[in-house]
Amino acid sequence: MRKLLLCLQCLVLAFIPNVMNAEPRDSVSFTTSQAIDTYGALLRNLSLYYVDSVSTQQLVQRSIDQLLESLDPYTSYIPKEKSDDFKYLISGEYGGIGAVVAQHYLPEDTTNKTFNVVISDPYEGMPAQKMDLKAGDIITAVDGKSVKGKSVNEVSELLRGTPETFVKVTVQRSDKEITKKILREKIQINPVSYYGFLNDSIAYILLSQFTDKAADAVKGALINLQNQKRIAALILDLRGNPGGLLDQAVEIANLFLPQNKEVLSMKGKYSQWDQTLKTTEQPILPNLPLAVLINSSSASASEIVSGALQDHDRAVIIGSRSYGKGLVQSTRNMPYGAHIKLTTAKYYIPSGRCIQAIDYTHRNEDGSVGKVPDSLMKEFKTDNGRTVKDGGGIMPDIEVKNEQKLDISYYLFTKNIIFDYATLYAQRHKSIPQPEAFTIDSATWNDFKDYTIRQRHFTYHLASAEYMDRLAEVMQWEGYDERSKKEFDALKEKLKVDVATDMEHFRTPITQLLEEEISKRYYLQKGGIRKSISFDPVVTKAIETLSDKNAYEKLLTPTEED
């Protein structure tokens, strides 16, 4: 499944040229036919003569996986039984009830071995939500059969099925057991997770992935926003967007770039594969001030769009350095209904830079790979003459550092304390204000503290304290334990966990997570997004930048250093 999830960080080409008569840029000495003969002979000998029984299928699958892992993380073999998952990643479409399910460890289990599968997010307007399944519902049975002990993937498979067929889902909610007969539908996940106005004139679009309908979804959102009121500026949020289809990246860039502008070029093993992709139509918003938000999880197609807009000085890029994936994947049919997704080229954005951050073709002796060091990055110029660099993802024009830390709020979230309290809160309160206006008051905060400490008996272990324990062992081995005992003990004392004190110290990030999760209970995913935007420092910086015309234009103008 991990390989399939990595498919999202790819660019899939619809057509691969004929290479029967093409000459590769690099010659090979060991022919493919020799390799096939050798491998076939090896399998035959193992099957016929190995002392124990051998599963040829398992051997082949294992060898394929290890072979491809030695290349790069994006080249993968997709067996026939995984084809539906692969199609879903490309189209965002499947048959089911329209809900995210998650593994949820029982509060009393400190070993993390006993868990339930719960409804995490019912999608708005889809069967689960229409039949009143709620976040926090524990799935106990599907079609009358218990799902106790089944994994998230196993439960998901039971819930999925052919559209227009029924599935019975039994859930535990508080002290009630509820069974719903749900008609499966064709579930189409909208790649635009949310769009709206952040103030009187600045619009916002959150694009979560580049599926085959991403460009139409962004264009539709823009048209709807224009019909509501005049748009003075736009924020396009690509943070956390792992990429997807190449043609969608080009079409989305074309919404803002003039016709016949280069978006990217590609160079592969064969010169016949080299091509340059340009915009083909006139943009619908050619001059609208634009800010694009990126972070370290913005990859592939996200980097094409943000990089092309940066190179053409069409948008201000805000956030943190992007992932750094400049490799192109293509899908080929394989025997018996399987497919292979393989890296076939590198892509270059209009200034000529490749944003690939890791060189998988040159590995260290231990097999590891390293990022391109800053000292080896080359400088390139945008259309206006601004300096940009290659080899490390897209660097934002305005960097907003990620202030998130692994404090107690992280552990409260990952241990499902925040999720479970939001479920209880929703059971006790019929409604809340709109997400932007909703806040946790003192009574709710104190109730949450009591729930966390007294009811859930929550505790956690600092990673720094664990490192201190390891350091103590090394110091003892080296004979320095007694000499540094006083200072060491004082530091260990400071690292002791006090949940009540830590919760007060980190009240702000905890409160933000709580408000976001509770907002989702009443306004679903869009409610959580709307709440998170209200205290998002990157969005705040984008609004500030777009509201100052002179500052915006200055960012797109070369400096003396350039």
Q: Is 489 within 8 Å of 471 (Cβ atoms)? A: no
Residue 471's alpha-carbon distances to 466, 489, 494, 495, 496, in angstroms, are 9, 12, 16, 14, 16
The radius of gyration computed from the CA coordinates of the chain, to the nearest angstrom, equals 27
Could you tell me where the beta strands, DSSP code E, fall in 251-381?
262-268, 275-278, 290-294, 316-319, 327-333, 339-348, 379-381
Range 513-517 contact pairs with CB under 8 angstroms and sequence separation of 24 or more: 513/409, 513/412, 513/413, 513/418, 514/418, 514/421, 514/422, 514/440, 514/448, 515/435, 515/438, 515/439, 515/440, 517/418, 517/419, 517/422
DSSP letter, residue 11: -
Cα(14)–Cα(331) distance, integer angstroms: 8
Cβ neighbours for 224, distance < 8 A, ≥ 6 positions apart: 195
> φ and ψ at 235, to 5 degrees?
-110, 120
Q: Which residue has the tokens 């992932």?
A: 323
Rounded to a whole number of angstroms, the distance between the first and last alpha carbons of the chain is 45
Cα(254)–Cα(260) distance, integer angstroms: 9
Residue 493 token pair: 């004392």
How far is C-alpha 391 from the geometric centre of its chain's CA atoms?
21
Tell me which residues are annotated as active site: 300, 311, 325
Residue 91 token pair: 């189209």
Cα(453)–Cα(455) distance, integer angstroms: 6
Q: Is 245 within 8 Å of 212 (Cβ atoms)? A: yes
> φ and ψ at 92, to 5 degrees?
65, 25
